[in-house]
A and B are shown apart, each in its own frame.
Chain A
Amino acid sequence: QKEVEQNSGPLSVPEGAIASLNCTYSDRGSQSFFWYRQYSGKSPELIMSIYSNGDKEDGRFTAQLNKASQYVSLLIRDSQPSDSATYLCAVNIVSSSGDKLTFGTGTRLAVRP
């Protein structure tokens, strides 16, 4: 089982709709969770971080975390064509050598005008 799993997509939604991106992780001890956005040919950029169970909202983005189910999601409201990108879920894994991020393979989102 992969440490962080995402549906590769593509997820296609019409402009103005809600896009829902999901991620599951295997390490029950993980405490920090991140969503990165990566445009084609560019580097990943952080858009949301979440540390506690529940929802965290930032503009059109809402991150949701359920540690009991080992599940984290990202909702994008009022999706825009400029949101079309690959979204990477990242989980902080604590090991004897320190903590490091483990990334999922990403979900490609396409927003149709």
Chain B
Amino acid sequence: EAGVVQSPRYKIIEKKQPVAFWCNPISGHNTLYWYRQNLGQGPELLIRYENEEAVDDSQLPKDRFSAERLKGVDSTLKIQPAELGDSAVYLCASSLGGRAGNEQFFGPGTRLTVL
């Protein structure tokens, strides 16, 4: 069974440019998460989806970040415009959902470098 798929794996852009990350969760997983991991830190949640609904986006910087999960499967996270401080690893995770505390499975992440 395929795990969580993310692309691209690496992205280097100049500040003020837009960037987008794509995630395909494990088949059948209704809950999808986007986390950001800064160097030397643990991941922090940006947004959580239950099917196509964003149920927790309190930590998403909405002035420049946006996300969507059309049809409740794949998801895209966008940054526009990117800033130097956005350099980090962006991780996507999924779980079965339906109840709190389900095990989360992570993708390989996208490492973003903003120059």
A and B from one complex: no
